[in-house]
Copies of this chain bind each other. A is one copy, B any other.
Amino acid sequence: MSYELYYWTGIPGRGEFVRMALEDAGADYVDVARVKGDGVIEKLAKEVATPSFAPPVLRDGEIVVGQTAAILLHLGPKLGLAPRQAAARLWVHQIQLTIADLTVEAHDTHHPVDVNAYFEEQRPEARRRAAAFRQQRLPKFLDWFETVIARNPGRSGWLAGTRASYADLSLFHLVAALRYAFPEAMSREMRGRDRVAELCRRVAERPRIAAYLASGRRLPFSESGVFRHYPELDG
């Protein structure tokens, strides 16, 4: 039976972290809202005993799970994208949660004071938050990813263990998203962060990922999404 992914149509958003894992594994899945419309997301939340606060949501038979990192915690072992050992699995999950934290911070650069108002209604605040993000937070997170790869006892160039995990796929997508949103800052900040850059190159070369990135299934970034490019927020 195929997996069902529920996520807003039209943007890669947080759903993309899940898609990356499904695509890399060659899993059979349906992107339900892209077939039936966004209404199915609310409908699902009304029906189930485990309603998610927000999408993405994954249905896997009887299991309906939300929160990106929890979805990947569930899917990882089934897709061959998580280590076998429990402690190593927990570590990969912890990395994924830190990727989620950086995602929130990147989102909040364009919506610092009111998530329900337009960017245009909070531009001065966004400029200030984006500057703090670029100068302080982004380098700190990138340093952490470099350290994690460097300290991996598996010495594989991946974040954890000797094989790629869903966290590596997510880091690839996160870096791609940050390069879209903050091209100038990322061009500067990726200098010397060779481990992260090399990991991203290796993910892009994985055959199923390469095919996915070239396909119509991979949605483009845009100014409706979680990661947005506003030149005034970059630099």
Residues of A within 8 A of B (CB): 49-53, 62-63, 65-67, 69-70, 73-74, 87, 90-91, 93-94, 97-98, 101, 104, 108, 112-117, 122, 125, 128-129, 132, 136-137, 141, 144, 147-148, 151-153
Give the dominant DSSP class at A's interface. Answer: helix
Instruction: Name the residue on B nearest A145 (C-beta).
Output: B53
Residue A94 contacts which of B65, B117, B132, B137 (CB distance < 8 angstroms)? Answer: B65
- Is the CB–CB distance between A152 and B49 below 8 Å? yes
- Is the CB–CB distance between B147 and A51 below 8 Å? yes
- Is the CB–CB distance between B132 and A113 below 8 Å? yes
Q: How many copies of the shown chain assemble into the complex?
A: 2
Q: Which residues of B contact A104 (CB under 8 A)?
A: 101, 104
Instruction: Name the residue on B nearest A130 (C-beta).
Output: B113
Alpha-carbon separation in the docked complex, A104 to B115 (Å)? 13
- Is the CB–CB distance between B115 and A132 below 8 Å? yes
Instruction: Name the residue on B nearest A62 (C-beta).
Output: B87
Residue A128 contacts which of B50, B51, B114 (CB distance < 8 angstroms)? Answer: B114
- Is the CB–CB distance between A53 and B137 below 8 Å? no
13 A–B contacts from the bound complex (CB under 8 Å): A49-B153, A50-B94, A51-B144, A51-B147, A51-B148, A53-B141, A65-B94, A67-B98, A112-B125, A113-B129, A115-B132, A115-B137, A125-B128
